[in-house]
Amino acid sequence: MTRTLPLFPVYFVDFVGALLMIVFSLIAFYYACRLTRLQPKSVLWTYMFWFSMALVALAVSRGFGHAVRFVLLYNNHNHLWKLLAPYSGGLNTISFTSVAVLTFYYSNVRDVIERVREDAQALYEANLRLQKAQEALRELNQNLERIVEERTLELQRSEKKFRGLFEGSKDMIFFCSADQKIEDINASGVEILGFQKREDVIGKSFREFFADPDQWDIFKDQLCHEGHIQDFEARLKRPDGSIIYVIITISILKAEDGTVRGCEGIAKDITNMKQVMESLIQSEKMASVGQLAAGVAHEINTPLGIILGYTQLLEEDCKEHKDAYESLKIVEKQTKICKRIVADLLKFSRHTPTSDTEEVDLNECIQEVLAVMEHSLNMDHVYVNKNLEENLPRVRGNREKLRQVIMNLINNAHHAIEKEGIVGLWTEYDSDKKEVRIIIGDTGSGIPQEIQKKIFDPFFTTKGVEKGTGLGLSVSFGIIKDHGGFIEAQSPPVEKRFLEAGMETVMIIHLPATKKNK
């Protein structure tokens, strides 16, 4: 019989080891349960819980199987162990497989944990940004009322500044819609266009105010093509029919999508400036022609004096020859007419005011002229409508020359009417300009637009042969210029009151005033 070593120590160690495996697995499972309860949402602790549970199952199945085996074999119940062995082995296999599966799954769990950690970090950073945004929003909410108040005050100041510029400007500022209708205009623009209220202008087409349709077409084409126009000179028509001259600067307004939503512009009234420029041009023209006229007059005056003298001597010798005497009388008459023309030329060429000046009451001058001329006016059924301002300031000048100017202008009005009409006479004082004005109007046929700039030119006349030399207005212009004033012609008149009085033409004499009558 072969002797062998006793197996009891091996069985004992195996038995005790199985029991310790069960104990340690239970301890691990206990701590896994505690960690899971502390952090139930932790993926790692959940994984460790199931891993510990698999280990407990493996330890129990394996350790319990070993313990039962030893007990049955020790008590000689080998047949019972043979019955239980397959079940114990199957349970061990299942438990071992579960542990192996959970072990292989650990790498995936680690990846999941890493992703979860990254997501957690991202969430943490997002949470920090959100907290900062909340703090900024809280601060903005706290300061919102102050910011809104500051912005409101800034907008109010800006609007007040713009409105002050808009309303205070002496030029016309206007805004038009895309279809050229006026949407807004300042008070000066309303006044320049000849209206009383802004509501009368709003909604009207800007085209309506252009006196010349062809000029509007040029203006519109240039604006549409270039988008901006600077210093466009235009003639605008007022409701009373008067014409004003303006310089327009205008720009197209576009929306964000590029569509035209209207235009904005500014227009300066240059009517007075244009009249002054025309007067200056006329003055320069008069000065040049006056120098020429003076030279011609002096050259002609000497032979005319000789002709007149010899003619009068021949008349003394030919009184008995009636035919020759009548012929000499005709020569004398025509020579005197020539001398009068030469005298007018000399008056026209005189550029310095006469030293014989005094303070003149223009109302008295008008009454004195009418006393001489009223009879001839009444003969042609031409009546005088006087509107003389009382207490009119005096002007300093030569009474005789001023009477000559008034007589020339009334004569021109009489010739323009011919028969059956009205000559209007007005005197007035402009306290702003410190000037006295004499307005002489008539109900005649008016002055055609194309010759209005020529009427003060020497020798220009529309009267028939032997009815005028064309020097009356030019001489009158020179006299008034020597007195520090100027003459303005309007046909038709600009002011409504003259139109209502039936005047077709008015001649306005502007003279500087000295002082009021006492």
Chain segment 447-498, per-residue pLDDT in tens: 777 776 666 665 555 554 444 445 567 777 778 888 888 888 888 888 888 8
- In sequence order, the 6+-apart residues with CB closer than 8 A to the CB of 155 are none
Q: In the 8-state DSSP scheme, what is residue 210? A: B
Chain segment 339-354, per-residue pLDDT in tens: 776 776 666 555 444 5
What CATH superfamily classification does 358-512 receive?
A: Histidine kinase-like ATPase, C-terminal domain (3.30.565.10)
Contact between 65 and 94 under an 8 Å Cβ cutoff? The reply is no
- pTM of the full predicted structure? 0.41
Could you give the CA distance from residue 178 to residue 168 in angstroms, rounded to a whole number? 26
CA distances from 292 to 286, 425, 457, 458 (A): 10, 35, 13, 11
Q: In the predicted model, is pLDDT for residue 198 greater than 50?
A: yes
Could you give the CA distance from residue 152 to residue 149 in angstroms, rounded to a whole number? 5
Worst-scoring range by mean pLDDT, 29-43, 98-112, 174-188, 301-315?
98-112
- Specify the pLDDT at position 40: 76
Which CATH class, in words, describes the domain spanning 169-269? alpha beta
Res. 50 pLDDT band, cuts 50 70 90: confident
Could you give the CA distance from residue 119 to residue 107 in angstroms, rounded to a whole number? 18
Contact between 472 and 460 under an 8 Å Cβ cutoff? The reply is no
CA distances from 163 to 173, 184, 186, 202, 265 (A): 11, 12, 9, 17, 15
- Specify the pLDDT at position 438: 92
Q: In the predicted model, is pLDDT for residue 423 greater than 70?
A: yes
Res. 106 pLDDT band, cuts 50 70 90: low
Vertex 72, ends 71 and 78: CA angle to 5°? 155
Could you give the CA distance from residue 67 to residue 60 in angstroms, rounded to a whole number? 10
85-88: long-range contacts, CB 8 A cutoff, minimum separation 24: 88/61, 88/64
Mean pLDDT of 336-340: 74
Q: Where are the domains of the chain?
A: 8-104, 169-269, 274-349, 358-512
* SS3 state at 243: strand
**355: its two tokens:** 């030293």
Q: Is the N-terminal amide bond of 492 cis, ω within 30° of 0?
A: yes
Q: In the predicted model, is pLDDT for residue 306 greater than 70?
A: yes
Q: Is 397 exposed, middle or buried (0-12, 13-18, 19+ CB in 10 A)?
A: buried
- Specify the pLDDT at position 436: 92
